Amino acid sequence: MRTGQICLSNGSVLAGRAACATALAERLRGLLGLNGLGPGSALVIERCGAVHTLGMRFSIDLIFLDRAWRVVRVVRNVSPGRLLVWGGWRAARVIESETGCLAVEEVQANDSLVWNDEINSETWRAK
């Protein structure tokens, strides 16, 4: 799993500690089994237009993105046990974070986000 940061187009950091799930097993597992992510942490799931929160232990905020990393939809405070949250026809990836741990209120539809690779990739799944 590759790690990095997610920044807003103005350069401010949205998620200082992010992981990107690209392999099928990583994408299927997502945040299942975790007790939380903590402040400034997020998971990007590639090739994902919808998510569920069945079996989750905490509420999450979702930012659905298109292929160019433009925001398609923002969904806040999705509680555990939801069967489906859809990002829309253009959604190609999703950013998942624990509710209240990212400044999701600063993100709006059509904003552009940027992925910055991080050199030091320690154990992201520490929690």
Q: What is the mean pLDDT of residues 24-45?
A: 92
pTM, to two decimals? 0.90
| In the chain, where the domains are located | 2-118
53-86 pLDDT, tens per residue? 999 999 999 999 999 999 999 999 999 999 999 9
Residues 6+ apart with CB under 8 A from 101: 37, 38, 39, 40, 41, 42, 61
Pair 65, 92: CB distance under 8 Å: yes
Question: Binning pLDDT at 50, 70 and 90, where does residue 127 land?
Answer: very low
Written out in words, the top-level CATH class of the domain with range 2-118 is mainly beta
Residues 6+ apart with CB under 8 A from 11: none
* Helices first, then strands: H and E counts in the chain: 1, 9
Position of tokens 């299927």? 28
